[in-house]
A = this chain, B = another copy of it.
Amino acid sequence: MLSNTLSRRVEWGDCDPAGIVFNPQFFRWFDHGTTMLYEAAGWPKPQLLERFGAAGCPVVDTRASFRAPCRFGDDVQITSEIAEIGTRSFSIRHTLTKGDEVCVEGYETRVWTAEKPDGGLGSAPLPDELVERFRG
């Protein structure tokens, strides 16, 4: 399955009064991890949507487990990989590590969304070409 790894330096403003990354921040990073995964698939997000006539791929479910804290100044890696491919949705696993240690594991499910004939938005089948790229 397709995967991509980013590096980030933990910033002062990412951290809370306990001196560790405030947990919502990880979800921001995971969202960006998914953006970069689209780019690794061959299309930056705006082009991805345009190419396949989609409106977006909103998150419908997400979860994370926090195993070890990250602190100001830490250099961390986030690996985002396609974990499941459904007919109209797909899931991404995000693994955040510091050196050899896994600090956070995240999981997002997103729905492929397109405009419907009546003008509203609804789920739509994932394009074959995209599925092929996601399979790596």
Contacts and interface: CB of A to CB of B under 8 A. Distances in A.
A62 B61 contact: no
Interface residues of A, number: 36
Contacts of A61: 63-66
Nearest to A44: B73
Interface in A1-48: 11-13, 15-20, 22-28, 31-32, 35, 44-46
- Copies of this protein in the assembly total 4
Majority secondary structure of chain A interface residues (helix, strand, loop or mixed): mixed
Given A13-B16, A18-B56, A72-B17, A31 B35 contact: no
A86 interface: no
Contact of A13 (B24, B46, B73): B24
A58 to B, nearest CB: 7
